[in-house]
Amino acid sequence: MVFSSPVFVFLFLPLVYLINLVLPSKYSNVFLLFASLLFYAWGEPIYVFLMVFSGFVNYRLALKMDRHGRFHKNLLILSIIFNIGMLAVFKYSDFLILGINSVFNTAIPTLNLPLPIGISFYTFQTLSYVFDVYRGETPVQKNFLSLLLYITFFPQLIAGPIVKYHDVSLQIQSRVVDLSQTTLGLRRFVYGLAKKVLIANAMALIADTIYALPNTQISTLVAWTASIAYALQIYFDFSGYSDMAIGMGWMFGFHFKENFNYPYIATSMQDFWRRWHISLSSWFRLYVYIPLGGNQKGKNRAMLNRILVFFLTGLWHGAAWTFVVWGLYHGLFLLLEQSFLHVEKWPRFIRRIYTLLVVVVGFVIFRSENFTQALVMIRSLFLFSSSSPIAFGEWMVLMTPFTFFMFAVAFFASTPIIRSTRLSNSRLFEYASYGFALVLWGLCLLNLASTTYNPFIYFRF
């Protein structure tokens, strides 16, 4: 089950919302927990027990930490080992086995374990709770069902944003559901659904078709088309999911922090990571970079800490060397900006072009199936080569007037042009935004009725 499926849109979400609305508030947490477990079990009938087990282990460890003094480091280390170990077994075991086989010329069989949906997200959320209790930043949660609701809450369970426990701990205990928040939430949900269904899916068809071509057919025109399409796809796919999660959170009285802030207008790579997947970058800063010493132990140590953080950022995205290199690539440019480039002195327009270029090339590495494909695509971006008749034919089939229109819409929607105008603060604009959401809703329904192509990129993480 995904947010863009008709079953979810027409049945699950309305039913859960209405039941939660009429239930006495003291039963809300139990009901939302039941609905969240049902939502996850719909797609993962076995791994739902793994998620509950993970929550229970961390619940018990945090209780012991609280009883024996919150600074009991051994319990914190035990929780880290358990959570990272669980992630390693299900997400990275085959990656490690293949690496060992390659280095030592062994033939250890791979486990081929199915990857639990959203395991990276709920593992990081659980760790944030343990860290918060250890640091004394939040009281320990003595009600297991309340903690489990935080871990499993269905709007952000599968693909984020990563919600830190201290941001929602009070809302778990007490929150308000009203008409104003519901309408705002519905509008935000529809905007996110439109990002995913109307824009990301259109870009995905282009990127997937071109990336499926043989490397010998990749020309400069084809490579740039695929690279830009994928950069737009991943942004509207993931930011659309985040918008839907934030909107649904409002409908149920929860307020999640923003996860994207127009990253494609960034003026440096550092600025880009302040705007892209904010919940992940802030998680690594709070729970990895700062505990390692941040920039408080000298320049060389700070550089090492940054590289480690971006190595882990890449690895978090998937068990493949392309993800690791993508993370290190971003870390390298952050270090270059800090040490040599001094981009803050460049003209703003040049800074934005530079940032977009670095980001688009990075996503080529991220999207490619292997390094050979990545190198072919990057080489084609910068060394001109003409299209083969087959590749140009594919390009012509893809680049219809509608495709050009969707590219224009995507470029426009990835900038805050409308929000930056005075009109955006008027009451007329507020009313028009709801009318626009209604139009988008109708377009999304037509799209959902006519296609089943709705893959979310971040579900596999």
Distance CA 310, CA 327 (A): 5
Q: What is the DSSP letter of 258?
A: P
Decide: 126 and 78 in contact? Cβ < 8 Å.
no
Decide: 335 and 307 in contact? Cβ < 8 Å.
yes
How far CA 10 is from CA of 6, 183, 384, 442, in Å, comes to 6, 17, 49, 13
Burial of 68 from C-beta contacts in 10 A (0-12 / 13-18 / 19+): exposed
Half-sphere exposure of 317 (CA within 13 A, CB side): 24
Distance CA 257, CA 159 (A): 14
Nearest alpha-carbon partner for 46 in 119, 99, 101: 119
Burial of 31 from C-beta contacts in 10 A (0-12 / 13-18 / 19+): middle
Q: Is 330 assigned a catalytic role?
A: no
Question: Which helix (H) or strand (E) segment is 75 a member of?
Answer: helix 73-87
Q: Any residues with CB less than 8 A from the CB of 292 and at least 6 apart, and which?
A: 305, 308
**Cβ burial 170-196 (10 Å sphere, 16+ → b, else e):** ebbeebebeeebbebbbbbbbbbbbbb
What is the CA 113 to chain-centroid distance, rounded? 22
Decide: 163 and 124 in contact? Cβ < 8 Å.
no
Distance CA 10, CA 367 (A): 32
Q: Any residues with CB less than 8 A from the CB of 313 and at least 6 apart, and which?
A: 280, 281, 284, 327, 330, 331
Angle 47-67/144-152 helices, nearest 10 degrees?
Answer: 130
The active-site residue out of 68, 166, 317, 342 is 317
Q: What is the DSSP letter of 141?
A: -
Decide: 251 and 12 in contact? Cβ < 8 Å.
no
Q: What is the DSSP letter of 339?
A: I
Distance CA 272, CA 399 (A): 29
The set of catalytic residues is: 317
